[in-house]
Amino acid sequence: MKGVFWLLVVSVVIASWIPLSHCAKKPVGIARKEDVPYIKCQVCEILAKQLYQQVQSKKAEISPKKISEYQIIEIAENVCNLKKVEADWILRIDIVEKADRLEVLGYSDTDVAEYLYSSKPDIDSLTNYLCKDLSKACNTKPPPVPKVIIN
């Protein structure tokens, strides 16, 4: 009788695992270097918008205190770090079409933070600074998208 009981328990446990294996997540699309010329300007513009909104949000959160340069640097450093909440915006982007966002900001995070702190730009000025002056991501038109894209 004990043997039948254990066989039943093992069967139930194994049966409960089967649906989990069928529900496994699909592999996440990965950014490809070849996609950068097609998307770098749009990603830069989204990044500029995120930086601007996150700085404005931080200002509102700590009001009436003034936002510090350190707080802005922290936002700029974390905005593309998927381990940080500041980068959650990346997860809402179709990675196949908007890949390789790290290519845009690169090692300019402190330059961007300094510009945000000292100039207090509007969204258009920040976008121009980040995407045309600093990274040059939007200085050239993207090439035409190939008719066949391999995923």
Kindly state the percentage of the chain with pLDDT values over 90.
30
Query: Please, are residues 39 and 99 in contact by the beta-carbon 8 Å criterion?
Result: yes
Q: What share of the chain is helix, strand, coil (3-state, %, to 5)?
A: 65, 0, 35
pLDDT tens digits, 11-67: 444 444 444 444 444 445 566 777 778 788 888 898 999 999 999 999 999 999 999
Residue 133 has pLDDT above 50, yes or no: yes
Residue 126 has pLDDT above 90, yes or no: yes
Q: What are phi and psi of 77, to 5 degrees?
A: -70, -30
Both tokens of 113, joined, read 């933070």
Q: Which amino acid is at 22?
A: H
Q: What is the pTM of this model?
A: 0.65
Tell me the pLDDT band of 107, cut-offs 50, 70 and 90. low
pLDDT tens digits, 73-85: 999 999 988 899 9
